[in-house]
Chains A and B, each alone.
Chain A
């Protein structure tokens, strides 16, 4: 879930696309409607996974996500692969080992079975890879034109090993910030597969289940302070959230953030900023400087962490979090929250 935006105004009469893009408008919706009607101690933390602390002396992580990606099939994956990876990664970001998932399918009447099969097959492959299972589910069909092809909701539970305490509240000045590879590929892969999009690229979604990567990271060191999977809104959005939750200032470096050439060029054409584009296979970690190399080494041994690198560090405590972006020419600027979905601009 996204971080809260302190705002008592919910003035929109209709839901806009920007209410779902993970930026400021999503925050408004969460604070002014959702929390208003059923906020509670755990929900109000608005973390990727809710942690239930007193479940028979164990810690359980519990998360849910809905997937409405359009188009349903895109380079590098489909909604089936996406929904399992998304939920697994939310659990992994809490330091939890995924145990079981639920799946709710909402399908439009007329949707071709061969596509549904492909989607379920892809989901099955990820379940097998991560040794998790869907243990309960539901299926609904909506009449033709009542919705758009297929939506999926997945929830997941995982258990957190004793002594594992991964939360933004542990972030300290000096922590190094690590990411497991290049950014902005999922968002562009999805955009490029829309029919009105006339650009041809080799960009494919980075959609991947990161539970094994996180296991190895936590296994190599008990000084992994915080984790977050960078999904909608890009790495900028989650870094800003982490800095606010931990009340620290963060510095990241333009020349250390891995961005593929094609990604950069496509962003130039469309006037988009890679920092704010969605990922689906990227974990950002805050690690004590003493153990950074150990954790990096462990990550590089995993197939989803070969390009892991340090992109910045936590510089100081501060009452208001802020992310300082160091440009490649040596100047600085403060990263701003995503105000709404980036529209391809040409201005």
Chain B
């Protein structure tokens, strides 16, 4: 059960955050990554952020992802 997608945190609302992944926006639960800040990248699984991604590496992944989608 490992389907998870990288996304950028846009806004934080208590235990929830609005994230954007290539234009798809959802509200997710950030109880598992309470220290996350807007602008951070997270890995999202089933509506929860399960880990914060290293920023530099995230750009690399999303770049690859962008190329993949082109």
A–B direct contact (CB < 8 Å): yes
Q: Which residues in A have some Cβ–Cβ distance to B below 8 Å? A: 198-202, 259-262, 264-266, 268-269, 271, 328, 345-347
The 7 closest A-B pairs by CB, nearest first: A265-B22, A262-B23, A261-B69, A200-B25, A264-B69, A347-B1, A261-B22
Pair A264/B22 contact, Cβ less than 8 Å: yes
Pair A346/B24 contact, Cβ less than 8 Å: no
A328 to chain B: which residues have CB within 8 Å?
68
Pair B3/A199 contact, Cβ less than 8 Å: no
B68 to chain A: which residues have CB within 8 Å?
264, 328
Pair B25/A201 contact, Cβ less than 8 Å: yes
A-facing mask of B41-70, CB < 8 A → 1, else 0? 000111100000000000000000110111
Pair B1/A266 contact, Cβ less than 8 Å: no
Q: A271-B3, A345-B3, A346-B46 are in contact. Are A259 and B69 (CB under 8 A)?
A: yes
A-facing mask of B1-33, CB < 8 A → 1, else 0? 111010000000000000001111111000000
Pair B69/A265 contact, Cβ less than 8 Å: yes
Pair B3/A347 contact, Cβ less than 8 Å: yes
With both chains docked as a complex, state the minimum distance between the C-beta of B19 and any C-beta of chain A, in angstroms.
11
Pair A262/B3 contact, Cβ less than 8 Å: no
Q: A346-B1, A346-B46 are in contact. Are A266 and B24 (CB under 8 A)?
A: yes
A268 to chain B: which residues have CB within 8 Å?
3, 5
Pair B69/A269 contact, Cβ less than 8 Å: no
Pair B25/A260 contact, Cβ less than 8 Å: no
B22 to chain A: which residues have CB within 8 Å?
261-262, 264-265
